[in-house]
């Protein structure tokens, strides 16, 4: 089996691993380890670049979606505003204008209070970065730095 030395995703400066069993047998352990290290380094760089490209692409999609949600929210606000004005004008035909405005304002205050209550309950369920904190606490002591050096 041969490793590609040209093409997309292959480091142009990479000479490639030995191509045959005879070439492997003729290589020293140091050469083979060097090739494995080079291969792993190339692979990691390629994976990081792929991850960066995917994050950029998904970030653009998320930004576009956020902008559209913002536009929809503003449109909804305008609908609520004009419906409120229409209700105010309708009620003004059957009662005093000040009382009609007060009724519309009280209805919106009740809507705001319900939404606030739901938001507060929802916010209380946010836990933060508990999974990340737990996984960091489970890092083995062997990976943590020891000021006195390596102990056996």
* Structural domain spans, the chain: 21-126
- Taking residue 89's Cβ as centre, other Cβ atoms within 10 Å add up to 12
Of the candidate ranges 7-11, 53-57, 96-100, 146-150, the one whose mean pLDDT is the lowest: 7-11
Q: What is the pLDDT of residue 16?
A: 56
Whether 32 and 24 have beta carbons less than 8 Å apart is answered as yes
Rounded to an integer, the average pLDDT of 55-64 is 89
Phi, psi of 28 (to 5 degrees): -80, 165
What gap in Å lies between CA 80 and CA 13, rounded to an integer?
63
Rounded to an integer, the average pLDDT of 77-86 is 95
What gap in Å lies between CA 3 and CA 9, rounded to an integer?
12
Return the beta strands (E) in 60-101 as ranges. Answer: none
> What is the reported pTM?
0.48
């Amino acid at each position: 089996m041969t490793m590609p030395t040209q093409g997309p995703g292959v480091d142009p400066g990479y000479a490639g691993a030995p191509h045959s069993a005879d070439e492997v047998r003729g290589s020293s352990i140091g050469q083979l380890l060097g090739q494995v290290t080079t291969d792993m380094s190339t692979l990691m760089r390629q994976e990081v670049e792929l991850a960066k490209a995917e994050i950029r692409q998904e970030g653009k999609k998320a930004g576009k979606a956020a902008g559209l949600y913002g536009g929809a929210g503003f449109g909804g606000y305008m609908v609520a505003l004009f419906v409120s004005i229409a209700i105010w004008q309708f009620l003004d035909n059957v009662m005093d204008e000040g009382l009609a405005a007060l009724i519309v304002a009280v209805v919106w205050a009740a809507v705001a209070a319900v939404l606030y209550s739901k938001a507060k309950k929802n916010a209380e369920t946010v836990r933060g970065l508990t999974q990340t904190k737990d996984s960091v606490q489970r890092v083995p002591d062997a990976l943590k730095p020891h000021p006195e050096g390596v102990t056996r």
